[in-house]
Amino acid sequence: MAQLTERPEMGTRIRVIAAGKYQGWTGYVAGPSYIPGEEAYVKVRVSKSAASGLQEIKVAWAAGLEKLEEAR
């Protein structure tokens, strides 16, 4: 797992990892809070009916897998 070494840009699309595995959620970074390291807490706007809205979710950020192209 790649380390999160920089602040995620607001609006960057990511895949959300919860409970140690990919949950099928794609989110957009909606707030700057994070903790450097393999796992981070960021405010993510997710679009899945069961979890839609703005939430603070524990995410893993792996270059080339969880960090996707910046949202347009």
Please give the order of strands across the beta sheet that includes 39-46: 53-60, 39-46, 21-29, 12-18, 67-70
Q: Is residue 48 part of a domain?
A: yes
Total number of domains constituting the chain: 1
Instruction: Say if 4 falls within a structural domain.
Output: no
| 32-63 per-position pLDDT tens digit | 444 454 444 555 555 554 455 544 444 444 33
Give residue 46's domain range. Answer: 12-70
* CB-based contact 30:45 (threshold 8 Å): yes
Q: What is the mean pLDDT of the chain?
A: 50
Give me the mean pLDDT over the 5-14 stretch.
57
Assess if residue 1 is contained within a domain.
Answer: no
56 within some domain: yes
β-pairing, 21-29 with 39-46? antiparallel
